[in-house]
Amino acid sequence: APSCHRVASVTFDFLACKEPHTMTQRTLVLLKPDAVRRALVGEILGRIERKAGWTITALELRTLDRPILEQHYAEHVGRPFYEPLVEFMASGPVVALIVEGERVIEGVRQLAGPTDPIAAAPGSIRGDFGVIVRENLIHASDSEESAEREVKIFFPGRA
Ligand code: ADP
């Protein structure tokens, strides 16, 4: 009989699967210090929780130190916004979480909106609450590779 074949967490639809392109993933999300300071944690977590079938599988309030931020933002070393970004990200507690579910990597990026909050559409987290590019409320992994790398950094026990 036809069946679904799961390979490396991707479900391929051959003949009998009801939903094609099924993809269970996990992503690393940070609610940045501005989100915590402005008491928007509940609002933002609520938007993530309300997406059908997604699950928060780790959650921690934590003040990040330089070494962890240097690891996390390694790709941006040398960019003009790097130093102020690290300083901002260390300026107060963040909420770090892992979210698991269908296409959650692209999905949380869509909920967040583009990096520049003024360019982000109303209805997105950045579009609804942000103005300054640096203080754009939320980080979300941008690929499966980044997600695995970032989960290891913030939740080594879940790697
Ligand atoms: P994203 O978080 O949307 O994936 P990037 O990975 O390009 O964006 O940048 C990481 C973070 O650095 C952004 O979320 C933002 O806080 C900050 N940032 C990016 N570009 C700028 C910039 N031009 N000026 C100030 N801060 C920036």
Reported as a single tens digit per residue, the pLDDT across 77-101 is 999 999 999 999 999 999 999 999 9
Whether 139 is catalytic is yes
Q: How many angstroms is it from 139 CA to the middle of ligand 1?
A: 9
Q: Measuring from atom 5 of ligand 1, which residue has the nearest CA?
A: 115
pLDDT for 153 equals: 98
Read out DSSP for 77-137? Answer: TTSTTHHHHHHHHTSS-EEEEEEEEETHHHHHHHHH--SSTTTSPBTBHHHHH--SSS--S
Report the pLDDT value the prediction gives residue 17, as an integer from 0 to 100: 57
pLDDT at 154: 98
Atom of ligand 1 nearest to the CA of 88: 16
Question: Is 37 annotated as a binding-site member?
Answer: no
Give me the residue label for tokens 């996390």.
72
* Structure tokens belonging to residue 108: 């949380």
Interval between CA 151 and ligand 1 midpoint (Å): 19
| pLDDT score, position 27 | 98
Catalytic residue selected from 5, 21, 76, 139:
139
User: What gap in Å lies between CA 105 and CA 80, rounded to an integer?
Assistant: 27
pLDDT of residue 7: 53
- For 47, other C-beta atoms within 10 Å of its C-beta total 17
Asked if 62 and 142 count as a contact pair (C-beta separation under 8 A), the reply is: no
Q: Kindly list the structural domains of the chain, giving each domain's residue range(s) and its CATH number in brackets, ordered by start.
A: 23-158 (3.30.70.141)
Listed as ranges, residues in the chain with pLDDT below 50 are 1-3
For residue 51, the CA-to-ligand 1 centroid distance in Å is 25
Entry pTM = 0.89
**Rounded to an integer, what distance in angstroms lies between the CA atom of residue 91 and that of residue 151?**
22
pLDDT, position 2: 42
Q: What are phi and psi of 64, to 5 degrees?
A: -85, 140
Rounded to an integer, what distance in angstroms lies between the CA atom of residue 123 and that of residue 91?
27
Name the closest-CA residue to atom 23, ligand 1. Answer: 81
Q: What is the ipTM of this complex?
A: 0.99
Ligand 1 centroid, distance to 129 Cα (angstroms) = 16
Q: Is 85 in the pocket of ligand 1 (CB under 6 A)?
A: yes
C-alpha span between 47 and 113 (Å, rounded) = 13
Q: What is the pLDDT of residue 15?
A: 53
Q: How far apart are CA 11 and CA 86, in angstroms?
A: 38
CB 95 within 8 A of CB 133: no
> For ligand 1, atom 3, which residue shows the shortest CA distance?
115
